[in-house]
Structure 1
Amino acid sequence: MQTNYIKKAALFLFFAAIISLPSSVKAQRYGTALGLRVGSSDLNRTVGLTLEQRIQKRISAELILQSDFSRNTTFSALAKFHRPIISKRFNYYLGAGPALGNEESFRKIPETRQIVHTYGNSTFGLDMIAGLELTVANAVISIDYKPNINIAGREEFFRGQVGISARTVLVKSKEQKKRAKRRQKAKKANSSEKESFWEKLKIGPAY
């Protein structure tokens, strides 16, 4: 079921990328993007928030908070590496990061073949992610597969989830670069003022 879901969503993004190529020239590489993520797994369906921040040209950080509003709520902090496919507006990405949660768990007792279902388990694990991402105008749309490896708190070692995210660009990459340059200039100006101050006094700064 999840495989068919991934194929359909991936094909949709691929054709959308081709159709949007003429307009993607006007699309801006995002610096900060915020939106919604819908997840689907064999266990449940989740809805949550996703915040992505561009750190370097091909590296970003993503925070995901998602819940099924019943028995499972998780938080992930991911570092992602991007590579362009058709253009810089359509890329694939790979990433990983720690994950915390409050989840249900299933444990099978071999002797009786009974399955024990527990709730409210505090979990810790590792999330990995692989996906496709398309940027059109001020929107960032992505399809991903996000497996989770449990380290503590849950009986199942592995859980996989397919997700679709739609984000709006809050800060464009160009604006982010301009802000960084302004901070660097301000830092250099402050440093020059301090040096000039000590030169006027003709003494060195006290350590």
Structure 2
Amino acid sequence: MQKIIFVVIITFLAGCAMAGKSYGQSYGTALGLRLANNNSYRMLGLTAQQRIQKGLSVEAILQSDFNVNTTVHALIKKHRPLLSKRLNYYYGAGIALGLEESWKKVPETRTIIQTYGNHTLGVDIIGGVEMTLMGITFSVDYKPNVNLLGREPWYSGQVGISVRSVLVKGSRQNKKRRQKARERRRENSQGYFKKILEPFKNN
């Protein structure tokens, strides 16, 4: 099932990428819960997402199966609109740290050694679809993880469903950015005139 979802998402994103370059994502800051599943276990976590510029956001995820696996993820994602900026698809990548279980195969004895509490480091890739309605953001994604240190197997795929509450609307964030930009321009212009008038003051 995960392989099918992964192929569908990648195919879908590849087709939509040809449609245009307008910006997606209608909110600034969102916080909520993420339910994730892979072949071995389910995880529940917190997800926080922040738009850093038009069509670009960062996401932090803390998730655990409340047993032997706990991971932290930092992702940067590119958003593209589908029908509108309230319905968009996204793709991105990031890094992952965690404490995880590991299975190591021993061919000589045909056994598997299972260990817990392994410090892991890996790289995440993510692709999904997101919809925002009435201040709530819903998203479905597929997030493969390539482990670089601490875990066997080296690859793990994860399907995730996230529900986030919009804390800061995109329009409000844009207004604050425009206001700060005006203040910077005003300060720069004042500093420029002060430099021009400085020789006359000395005289």
1:131 equivalenced with 2:122 (yes/no): no
Paired AA for residue 135 in structure 1? T
1:59 equivalenced with 2:56 (yes/no): yes
1:98 aligned to 74, 95, 100, which one?
A: 95
1:86 equivalenced with 2:83 (yes/no): yes
The 3-state SS of whatever aligns with 1:84 is strand
The 3-state SS of whatever aligns with 1:201 is helix
Paired AA for residue 33 in structure 1? A
Q: What RMSD, in angstroms, separates the aligned Cα atoms of the two structures?
A: 2.0
Paired AA for residue 89 in structure 2? Y
Encode CA deviations 1:167-187: one digit per residue, 9 max, x unaligned: 011111111111111111111
Paired AA for residue 188 in structure 2? S
1:2 shift after superposition: 4.4
Query: Whole-Å Cα distance in 2 between the matches of residues 165 and 109 of structure 1?
Result: 38
Could you tell me which residue of structure 2 aligns to residue 41 of structure 1?
Answer: 38
Alignment of 1:138-177 (within 5 A): 138-177=135-174
* Alignment gaps of 5+ in structure 1: 11-27
Query: Whole-Å Cα distance in 1 between the matches of residues 143 and 195 of structure 2?
Result: 56
The 3-state SS of whatever aligns with 1:202 is helix
Query: Whole-Å Cα distance in 2 between the matches of residues 96 and 191 of structure 1?
Result: 37
Paired AA for residue 29 in structure 1? S
Question: TM-score, length-normalised on structure 1?
Answer: 0.82
Encode CA deviations 1:147-194: one digit per residue, 9 max, x unaligned: 100111112110011110000111111111111111111112222222
* Alignment gaps of 5+ in structure 2: 10-24
Question: TM-score, length-normalised on structure 2?
Answer: 0.83
Alignment of 1:22-33 (within 5 A): 29-33=26-30
1:70 equivalenced with 2:67 (yes/no): yes
1:198 shift after superposition: 2.6
Q: Number of matched residues?
A: 183
The 3-state SS of whatever aligns with 2:185 is helix
